[in-house]
Structure 1
Amino acid sequence: MKTNEGRFFEDYAVGQVIAHAVPRTVGAGERALYHALYPARHALYSADTFAQGCGLAASPLDDLIAFHTVFGKTVPDISLNAVANLGYAEGRFLQPVWPGDTLRSTSEVIGLKQNSNGKTGVVWVRTRGENQRGQAVLDYIRWVMVRKRDADAPAPETVVPELKPALAAEDLVVPAGLDFSTYDFTAAGEPHRGGDYAVGEIIDHVDGVTVEEAEHMMATRLWQNTAKVHFDATNREDGRRLIYGGHVISLARALSFNGLANAQMIAGINAGAHANPCFAGTTVRAWSEVLDKAETTAPGVGALRLRLVATGADHALGELRGEDGKYRPGILLDLDYWALLPV
């Protein structure tokens, strides 16, 4: 058999290292498509002149282009037979990705747990993305629910990794040369510095985007994400194609520009959950909560820890869970991340 049906839950073992196929060279085309798919407007990723004013040689590619590209490489080996991608932790953006860089991915299995139904299990992996020079640009942990090939296959020993609840500020990597001491607030679009935000503050990003079938299908193909649930409408009992969770992340991040225009770079992902599925026709809105603030050693650069929440039908600010402790049905994404901004 020459075709690949993908790995099932019983094909994984803790300690297994998987080198993912098909490295990808990224460039201006990815930037243009990213900005066409999402209302992305952060100035550092839009103009060389702005980036040069912040101490960089040119405008790097959006952080989430790097994330989606590295993630997409892993799908044929990790989540081709996934029921759902469940969450993220300990994600660090280690250096910018520039037009012309070639990215590849490697993952290590760090945890396994069969579900009580005996038909699926959860797989935890730590993924590392590298450029053509072998330098790490990104690493993160994610966990995914995967189908079993044979429901009667014995359950593996349960190993649930211990994950950091959040990255410390000193875990963050500030790109070499980044300098916000002469930051151009007019070009950036908003006047707000780090000191203008208060821990506990909630920001309604006001705008919304209705997800179209064609857009999310184009995005999933762009990132070479081959998970069956995103393409094959017969793969779910309800006959609907599940929208790639990363598409929701990028929509919410782009919507957050309104109120967080100066949160220019994503430095770390502390935790993340795709709380409920998203389908075409959903209007995605977003709000953010300020969780923490920190200084960095780079001139004029501070860090803001933010909870970014994407909502569907229910856009109640600050309300994540119901009385039962579960996510409210309207919550699509709960993402805890660090961003770099001028102080």
Structure 2
Amino acid sequence: MSKTNPGHFFEDFAIGQVFEHATPRTITDGDRAVYGAIYPTRFAVPSSAQFAASVGLAASDGSGHPVEELIGFHVAFGKTVPDVSLNAVANLGYAELRFRQPVVPGDTLRTSSEVIGLKQNSNGKSGVVYVRSTAVNQRGEIALDWARWVMVHKRDQTLEAPETVVPELASVVAPADLVIPSRLDFSDYDFAAAGESHRFDDYAVGEKIDHVDGVTLSESEHMMATRLWQNTAKVHFNTEARPDGRRLVYGGHVISMARALSFNGLANAQLVAAINGGSHTAPAFADDTVYAWSEVLDKAEVDAPGVGALRLRLVATKGRDESMTLKGDDGKYASGVLLDLDLWALVPR
């Protein structure tokens, strides 16, 4: 009996199957430092213990202030890879992701996933696996949960396709279902420290924001980031895993890069409360230069002092698109679009 793990192929998955993923991971301030070294993030809450304390998200001495929400996501996501997507062709999308508890250094996350959908591709060589994953902290509290779908190779292409089950997933997390940190208070918000003066009322539905700045992806940084999250997917490291011999940049790397770039124009979007949906619309590789733009899709009041919620479409592109075009007349994504992410962010009113 082999003692090594070859990963699961499409035919190994079954509806209702549950994976308790290995290797719980404790978050440290080292994660915060390395994240800041890889991505040009400048949001005040995860950057400053004093600022976090001033809005109710840390003790009065500034200890235990939250890390970037995406650190928690990447760590929790990385746990799922050996069981769900080790043999992936590509990660395709996300839905219903809610951040339920701020993650602080010292928190230990462990993740489980349930298979909720299966659909074999028409070529018979691969299929799409849908899972719902839940990450809990050391107190058993849910830190975040989400659904995702991933295309996975088949081991034996002669096997019959399983019954197709495509789960119904909400297109958006309702504002009433957003989980707002219990002590969050933006009523005495320090706009100078945050870096911009724009409030909730300064944004209009339909407004587009060109975040202007770009970052060129490097081979070493995307592999370092993926190792940091203990993501073992072969396509990110092994040039023999893809026919073109190229390492595929982890989609989460593009998400974090776009989120960091969005600071210019959305510096006060301090917290990501939910990701309603997301699609990696094209592959990214080293030497691609990533830019980002956002569109305000909706606005909502939430039950926290001085806080409002913006629903934002965050788009990452290969090369800058000053026209900020998402799709062409044919309904297909415009050339150069890498990521289409729909999220709720919390801003001062």
Structure-2-length-normalised TM-score:
0.97
Partners of 2:46 and 2:107 in 1: CA distance? 16
Alignment partner for residue 216 of structure 2, among 210, 218, 224? 210
State the Cα RMSD in Å: 0.8
Partners of 1:128 and 1:315 in 2: CA distance? 36
Corresponding residue for residue 140 of structure 2:
134
The one-letter amino acid of 2:198's match is H
Alignment partner for residue 290 of structure 2, among 252, 261, 284? 284
2:72 matched to 1:66? Answer: yes
- Checking the alignment, whether the CA contact within 8 Å between 2:214 and 2:320 is kept in structure 1 is no
The one-letter amino acid of 2:216's match is T
Percent identical residues? 68
Partners of 1:297 and 1:314 in 2: CA distance? 37
Q: How far has the Cα of 1:316 moved from its partner? A: 4.3
Q: How far has the Cα of 1:56 moved from its partner? A: 1.8
Q: Aligned with 1:308: secondary structure? A: strand
The one-letter amino acid of 2:76's match is V
Partners of 2:286 and 2:165 in 1: CA distance? 36
Map 1:17-28 to 2 at 5 A: 17-28=18-29
Q: Aligned with 1:186: secondary structure? A: helix
Q: Aligned with 1:195: secondary structure? A: helix
Q: Aligned with 2:160: secondary structure? A: coil
Partners of 1:53 and 1:232 in 2: CA distance? 45
- Checking the alignment, whether the CA contact within 8 Å between 1:287 and 1:317 is kept in structure 2 is no
- Checking the alignment, whether the CA contact within 8 Å between 1:90 and 1:167 is kept in structure 2 is yes
2:7 matched to 1:6? Answer: yes
Q: How far has the Cα of 1:154 moved from its partner? A: 1.4
Q: Aligned with 2:213: secondary structure? A: strand
Structure 1 regions of 5+ residues with no counterpart? none
- Checking the alignment, whether the CA contact within 8 Å between 2:290 and 2:320 is kept in structure 1 is no
Runs in 1 of length 4+ with deviation above 2 angstroms?
Answer: none
Cα deviation, 1:240-270, whole Å, max 9, x if unaligned, reads 0000000000000000000000000000010
Partners of 1:322 and 1:68 in 2: CA distance? 31
Corresponding residue for residue 191 of structure 1:
197
- Checking the alignment, whether the CA contact within 8 Å between 1:88 and 1:141 is kept in structure 2 is yes
Partners of 2:330 and 2:119 in 1: CA distance? 24
Cα deviation, 1:103-139, whole Å, max 9, x if unaligned, reads 0000000000000000100000000000011110000
Partners of 1:232 and 1:206 in 2: CA distance? 33
Structure 2 regions of 5+ residues with no counterpart? none
- Checking the alignment, whether the CA contact within 8 Å between 1:8 and 1:148 is kept in structure 2 is yes
Structure-1-length-normalised TM-score:
0.99
Map 1:187-266 to 2 at 5 A: 187-266=193-272
Partners of 1:280 and 1:56 in 2: CA distance? 36
2:314 matched to 1:308? Answer: yes
Partners of 1:314 and 1:242 in 2: CA distance? 21
Partners of 2:310 and 2:293 in 1: CA distance? 15
